Structure 1
Amino acid sequence: MSISRRKAGEDAEVIVVGAGPAGSTAATYLARAGLDVLLLEKSTFPREKVCGDGLTPRGVKQLIDLGIDTREQAGWLHNRGLRVVGGGVTLELDWPDLASFPPYGVVRPRQDFDEMLARTAQRAGARLLENTTVNSAITDATGRVIGVNAKAGPDKVPVTYKAPLILACDGVSARLALSVGLEKIDKRPMGVAVRRYYESPRSKDDYLESHLELWDRSDPDNPVLLPGYGWIFGMGDGTINAGLGILSTSKAFGTTDYRKLMRSWLDGTPEEWGLREHNAKGKIGGAALPMGFNRTPHYTPGLLLVGDAGGMVNPFNGEGIGYAMESARIAAEIVVQAMARAEGPARERALEGYPVAMREALGSYYRLGNIFSKLIGNPTVMRTATKYGLPRKTLMKLVLKLLAGLYDQRDGDAFDRVITAATRMAPSV
């Protein structure tokens, strides 16, 4: 039985703000390590989230590490790879066979997925308070974060919660970070994604499907190439998740009607796919994707930025869930070590290791991704890469490994060694 380290006036040893994948993962690891964890969530479960609902093997590894049963019998729809469509070519690429990651991806609706992770945190011992909206940090005279201001319940009653450490897992809004002056870095990429569910006969698919060219074929005699890339992910329940993303490095970013763009693209897909208005389930939802460590430092005294709050989305492919969970695991490991030390300089040295650990894990890879996002933001570069790259399956296998972060850093194949060498040569973000 662990003895609480809470002091008088403190509500927990660690407060985690946001019960998305980052927050619930961090809370689970922290609670399992014996820490007294308070997990604050602004909405109530189950809740919707705008997302593609698909995880690559890198994300699946994080689920397995957390102890989640990812078998199909447990309700997960497995996929064996990525189908890439563009330049008149359709290419099916299986996920690579690696020591570091499982050979399958999964699909599961975020409405179900997020609640499952939150309940996992509760079972580990974290105290979850739903309908609690955190709007700012509380700091002491030195500027150290020592708690949060929030509004609780349906009546939005003002409350405060205090703890020696706060994990900001509050997503793209990053209210906690903004409240202490941590602005996003505009030179680093952002993405915008929109998605909608449709009833479709393509609901069960062995591959996640990515469309590198989006065409508005409303006028068959004058098709128009649209900015961005699209996805079609079968959900296995009679529906598909269709969506598209556009990068801030594109000239069309911020001036495009993304919902109209998506409808134009889907209206040009084959009728038998069912991606038409009368088959739609719900509205088109949109969300911003903070990429490439676009908010730093990831640690300021008393406050760690985790997941989307710290810009952890992969700039190569827009995947956020797996990287949110990865950063949460790293943050939790650091916090557990820090809380085992006496309050003061020794604890701070441990906490200052968090941004260092994140740079070591993803910094150089994300630097390459930020460069990549600038290149493909140019439509000429994107068209040329699609035209000449897609027909070359061997090259595309390398590209898949790079874009999805699926490579073995030790004892890998020739492609793995190329990617590992490139990340080592790239300066960290």
Structure 2
Amino acid sequence: MTESPTEHSADVIVVGAGPSGSTTAYYLAKAGLDVLLLEKTAFPREKVCGDGLTPRATKQLVAMGIDVSEEAGWLRNKGLRIIGGGVRLELDWPELASFPDYGLVRKRDDFDEQLAQQAVKAGARLYERCNVGAPVVDDRTGRITGVEAKLGEEKTPVTFRAPLVVAADGNSSRLSLGMGLHRREDRPMGVAVRTYFTSPRHEDDYLESWLELWDRRGPQDRLLPGYGWIFGMGDGTSNVGLGVLNTSASFKELDWREILKAWCASMPEDWGYTPENMTGPIRGAALPMAFNRQPHYTRGLLLVGDAGGLVNPFNGEGIAYAMESGQLAADVIVQAHARASHAQRELALQRYPKVLKDTYGGYYTLGRAFVKLIGNPKIMKLAADRGLTHPLLMKFTLKMLANLTDPTGGDAMDRIINGLSKVAPRS
């Protein structure tokens, strides 16, 4: 059967069906645009993630019409349990007008598939097993006009064409590199490693964050770099992982899988975080933070999610910002699409980087300062020892780290955080 050329052309191509790509495709399709969503693997597929979603991400799921009920397989959480400095503190998510007061947990393979299917329901055309290679660039203008890809198990060469392309292809973003957009070395980068264990703690209704990781196996306890997490999955397993920032002196030296094993070995035996209870391998992934690839729009290409370095430097959260940037990009594209001339369309598209900087720029600048501080283990230990004994300070810290404030009409904490974000440079 001969395919018509229109099957490989559209108003917009979105490369990558992770949270940022599927959200972008959903909002574009919902607005009536013809969208191709190209995913290199087939669903369900594995992704390295903590699987824990804050109220910020929950809000995005609700906005997309996803059923987030427990009956639909979602595990709800009330807040964050912080452990460090000999203190165990449970902080509920703040009560805000702008965000729900609960978070969610769900495995990424199933989570991403739900978002992709929601985009398809809205009208997006999903191609799985579609490995995108080089961008197709107009020699005269330097603009991207499509992508080269290999489709299916047969790896059939296909050229997809569209006047606009969205790079939602993750941290490595081959598409961005193909357009000459490289990572900024002056922006923080994190690494996360995680695995799953069969555990009686699988129904924990708090996300758990460990500010100190101790290796207690030797004659002397050793403080390990980074922070850890334990998220109950509600399915008989726990997601246990750790994150470390490149501001840590140990960033390149250590084997993080071994660090995770050492940390797990120090935990109470009845939690079940032992090698025989591990249900899968230890996997790792990079966390690109604080706009570490720019510009977010150039020559017909928009960057969303990890491709644009949208991970929150304060807490390593990526999904909420992936989805939010997808919605912001879609809004800009829809407005540009309705303009009559090329010059007017380009003017509308040039707004996208400014929208991102207005939304996150100041907050991410504060986050960059924060990661430099906690990269010093002495400062991190001091903060854990002193800060955790002050519940009011920790309530403020939770709002700051999770970026959960009401933009108008909030409490004094909200006004301080919002004020700091406004005055910080938006670079």
Q: TM-score range by the shorter chain?
A: over 0.9
Q: Secondary structure at the match of 2:59?
A: helix
Cα gap change, 1:30/1:268 in structure 2, threshold over 3 Å: closer, same or farther? same
Q: AA paired with 2:338?
A: A
Could you give the per-residue CA deviations for residues 178-221 of structure 1, whole angstroms, max 9, x where no partner exists? 011101001100000000000000000110000000011111x3
Q: AA paired with 1:327?
A: S
How far apart, CA to CA, are the structure 2 residues paired with 1:357 and 1:364?
A: 12
Q: AA paired with 1:163?
A: A
**Aligned residue in 1 for 2:302:** 304
Could you give the per-residue CA deviations for residues 290-320 of structure 1, whole angstroms, max 9, x where no partner exists? 0000000000011000000000000000000
Could you give the per-residue CA deviations for residues 258-311 of structure 1, whole angstroms, max 9, x where no partner exists? 100000000000001000000000100110000000000000011000000000
Q: Secondary structure at the match of 1:171?
A: coil
Number of aligned residue pairs: 423
Root mean square deviation of aligned Cα = 1.3
Cα gap change, 1:340/1:382 in structure 2, threshold over 3 Å: closer, same or farther? same
Match among 119, 122, 129 for residue 121 of structure 1: 119
Cα contact 2:8–2:159 (8 A) shared by 1: no
Matches within 5 A, 1:260-275: 260-275=258-273
Matches within 5 A, 1:133-152: 133-140=131-138, 141-152=140-151
How far apart, CA to CA, are the structure 2 residues paired with 1:342 and 1:375?
A: 49
**Aligned residue in 2 for 1:3:** none
Q: Percent identity?
A: 60
Could you give the per-residue CA deviations for residues 103-141 of structure 1, whole angstroms, max 9, x where no partner exists? 000000001100011111111111000001112211112
How far apart, CA to CA, are the structure 2 residues paired with 1:9 and 1:151?
A: 15
TM-score by length of 2: 0.97
- Deviation, 1:343, is 4.1
**Aligned residue in 2 for 1:165:** 164
Q: AA paired with 1:149?
A: E
Structure 1 runs not aligned, ≥5 long: 1-6
- Deviation, 1:9, is 10
**Aligned residue in 1 for 2:203:** 204
How far apart, CA to CA, are the structure 1 residues paired with 2:359 and 2:423?
A: 14
Q: Secondary structure at the match of 1:294?
A: coil
Q: Secondary structure at the match of 1:173?
A: coil
Residues 1:182 and 2:181 aligned together: yes
Cα contact 2:305–2:322 (8 A) shared by 1: yes
How far apart, CA to CA, are the structure 2 residues paired with 1:76 and 1:8?
A: 38
Q: Secondary structure at the match of 1:191?
A: strand
- Deviation, 1:157, is 2.5
Q: AA paired with 1:292?
A: A
**Aligned residue in 2 for 1:4:** none
Matches within 5 A, 1:318-329: 318-329=316-327
Match among 14, 18, 21 for residue 19 of structure 2: 21
Match among 25, 42, 45 for residue 43 of structure 2: 45
**Aligned residue in 1 for 2:71:** 73
Cα contact 2:296–2:303 (8 A) shared by 1: yes
How far apart, CA to CA, are the structure 1 residues paired with 2:143 and 2:187?
A: 27
Match among 107, 110, 126 for residue 109 of structure 1: 107
Cα contact 1:9–1:162 (8 A) shared by 2: no
Match among 402, 410, 414 for residue 416 of structure 1: 414
Matches within 5 A, 1:378-393: 378-393=376-391
- Deviation, 1:92, is 0.2
Q: AA paired with 1:242?
A: V
- Deviation, 1:370, is 0.9
Could you give the per-residue CA deviations for residues 41-88 of structure 1, whole angstroms, max 9, x where no partner exists? 000000010000010001101111111121222211000000000010
